[in-house]
Amino acid sequence: MRPYPALSELAQVVRRLEAKSRHRPSGGASLEQLLGGAIEETEHGRVLLVRRRFALPHHHGGQDLSHARQIASEPLQLLARSDMPPPGGDRLLYLDTETTGLAGGTGTYAFLVGVGFFDGDGFEVRQYFMRDLDEEPALLAALEALFRSFDGFVTYNGAGFDLALLETRFVLARRRWLGDRFHLDLLNPARRLWSERLDDCRLGTLERHVLRFTREDDLPGALIPSVYFDYLRTRRPAELPRIFEHNRHDILSLAALTGWVAAAVGRAPALDLCPEEMAGLGRIWEGTDLERGLACYRMALERGLGSPGRERLLFRLARWEKRLARWDEARALWQAAISIDRGFDPRPWEEIAKLYEHRQRDFTAARGVVEDALSRARLHRASERVLGAFEHRLDRLTRRLER
């Protein structure tokens, strides 16, 4: 005769039934059925996992995802500005989180963590979801196992938010965070490339203008925390599938944009890009390969870079030519800056005057430049400090010529 079950066994059964009921949305279908996912067992419980696989070549907007898989090590290391050797394209994990708030800190949870990686002949997106806040230990356990399978991360503002938040959650859960790993935060290169051209450098903005990808019926990121809290309160999925779609597009855009940027950096300056992008490539290369960076700057000017970026780039390029003692090139750039009729800037006038006076010892030419500068400065009502500096220089040159 089979003995009656113990009370502890009955309690476990009741808890399992309550959990199933808690995670079953209205209409009878389970959450995993609604989202096309499955429950993954970990040593710390269960977590919902949704997988999507994209065959290569898959185009996200106008960009082929396979370009990110073929990324070369030189541009990857340059973009990351890391001393660590970069891994191959199939050893990188693209990561983006959806959280209960944007402030960070110990009270913020990453309730959905999306990752993407190249595997075989495709690109796989995995999304780990906490159906309740008590599933965080299971989510962290699943992530830890996955992270150990890759050699580096690619994020968008991950250094300041996503990875920092996950590290906080790992520490609070008494789990060991990963050691030093290669990390490319694409936000900084994006700012160098597009801050002069676009209103902002949000990932959604770059999707439209660079990747030519437009989201249909996208859930704004600012609404995502409230949608999740509504789900926790009502257990109705409502807008929950839209959060998954938003996160999936973030991962795909991150991979596509990484391929675009790395290819542009690797081929610079032999590219057919707009002037602002060429100037941005120059800023990326300037600290590592100066001549390559200067070549990008010159090409940006040749292609008609507009104001005020043009003036800034003329001064930047002239300063480098001066440091390299290429005086004729520097003077031509300062004269180009003078020819731009946008008020009065004393710097190119001063530099040309100093070049004539100190390098060429042509005091007559130097005095002519200062006289023209004073005339222009008075016309534009320059400050007394600027006028006084030019008048002092003119007096000194006049005395030299009299001697």
Domain with 137, as residue range(s), is 29-267
104 and 228 within one domain:
yes
- Same domain flag for 242 and 372: no
> In which order are the strands placed within the sheet that holds 45-55?
37-42, 45-55, 122-129, 110-119, 92-99, 152-155, 182-185
39 plus 73 within the same structural domain: yes
- Residues of the chain with pLDDT > 70, as a percent, come to 93
Task: Indicate if 188 and 301 belong to the same structural domain.
Answer: no
For the CA atoms of 17, 20, 23, 27, what is the dihedral angle to 10 degrees?
A: -100
Please indicate, yes or no, whether residues 55 and 158 belong to a single structural domain of this protein. yes
Task: Give yes or no: residues 42 and 156 share one domain.
Answer: yes
Question: Which pLDDT score, from 0 to 100, does residue 3 have?
Answer: 43
> Is 24 among the domain residues?
no
Interval 123-138 mean pLDDT: 97
Phi and psi of 263, rounded to 5°? -65, -40
392 and 367 within one domain: yes
pLDDT, tens digit, for every residue of 183-241?
999 999 999 999 999 999 999 999 999 999 999 989 999 999 999 999 999 999 989 99
| Stated pTM of the model | 0.88
pLDDT confidence bin for 127, thresholds 50/70/90: very high
Q: Is residue 106 part of a domain?
A: yes
DSSP secondary structure letters along 320-368? HHHHTT-HHHHHHHHHHHHTS-SS--HHHHHHHHHIIIIIS--HHHHHH
- Looking at residue 22, its pLDDT comes to 54
- 185 lies in the same domain as 164: yes
pLDDT of residue 44: 95
The predicted pLDDT at position 320 comes to 97
Of 166, 162, 356, which is closest to residue 251 (Cα–Cα)?
162
- 170 and 45 in a single domain? The answer is yes
**Number of independent structural domains in the chain:** 2
Does one domain contain both 259 and 293?
A: no
The packing angle between helices 290-302 and 275-286, to 10°, is 170
Same domain, 226 and 108: yes
Residue 296 has pLDDT above 60, yes or no: yes
341 pLDDT above the threshold of 90: no
